């Protein structure tokens, strides 16, 4: 028997080598898929945390703008953030105000939470506000001016 020139000196892959190569390739593809899935999950969680911190900052700015005294008088310490797209609210907020022993100083703890079922998540911040309102200062200043005239 004569060997043809096309096959002379070449060695073909066996079935076992082909199967091993296919298993290694598929396990590599599965590993890359798992890593990318976990990466997307991490990006989604990071986006949710960033939104929650933005909403917390929005609530804190609102309290600072209206004044801590007016906020306490309003009696509204919990609520829901309205979705900008007009959908259902996805985040809630809760504010706990504690009067400190020093003058009109208040400790304010703000919590923003979100999630469904057993996957409830929340971020919180504690800060201090001086409750001595501008109205009292303005009244005291106008009284001093009228007494000085």
> pLDDT by residue (tens digit) across 40-96?
888 988 998 999 999 999 999 998 898 888 888 888 888 888 777 666 678 899 999
Mean pLDDT over 25-33 rounds to 92
State yes or no: pLDDT of 22 exceeds 90.
yes
The region of weakest confidence among 7-11, 41-45, 83-87, 100-104 is 7-11
Question: How many other C-beta atoms can be found within 10 angstroms of the C-beta atom of residue 71?
Answer: 21
27, pLDDT greater than 80: yes
> Confidence class of residue 135 from pLDDT cuts 50, 70 and 90?
very low
Q: What stretches of the chain show up as alpha helix (H) in DSSP?
A: 15-66, 68-74, 134-148
Q: Cα-atom radius of gyration of the chain, to the nearest Å?
A: 33
Read off the pTM: 0.64
Say which residues have a Cβ less than 8 Å from residue 132's Cβ, sequence separation at least 6: 103, 104
- 98 pLDDT higher than 60: yes
Which tokens sit at 102? 């020093």
Q: Is the pLDDT of residue 125 over 90?
A: yes
Q: Is the pLDDT score of 134 beyond 50?
A: no
Q: What percent of the chain has pLDDT over 70?
A: 79
């Amino acid at each position: 028997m004569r060997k043809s020139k096309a096959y002379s000196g070449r060695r073909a892959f066996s079935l076992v080598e082909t199967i091993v190569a296919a298993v290694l390739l598929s396990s590599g593809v599965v590993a890359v898929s798992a890593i990318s899935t976990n990466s997307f999950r991490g990006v989604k969680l990071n986006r949710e945390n960033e939104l929650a911190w933005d909403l917390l900052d929005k609530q804190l700015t609102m309290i600072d703008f209206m004044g801590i005294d007016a906020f306490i008088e309003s009696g509204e310490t919990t609520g829901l953030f309205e979705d900008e797209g007009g959908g259902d609210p996805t985040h809630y907020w809760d504010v706990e105000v504690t009067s400190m022993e020093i003058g009109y100083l208040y400790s304010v703890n703000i919590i923003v939470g979100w999630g469904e079922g057993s996957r409830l998540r929340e971020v919180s911040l504690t800060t201090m506000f001086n409750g001595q309102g501008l109205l009292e200062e303005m009244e005291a200043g106008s009284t001093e001016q009228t007494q000085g005239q």
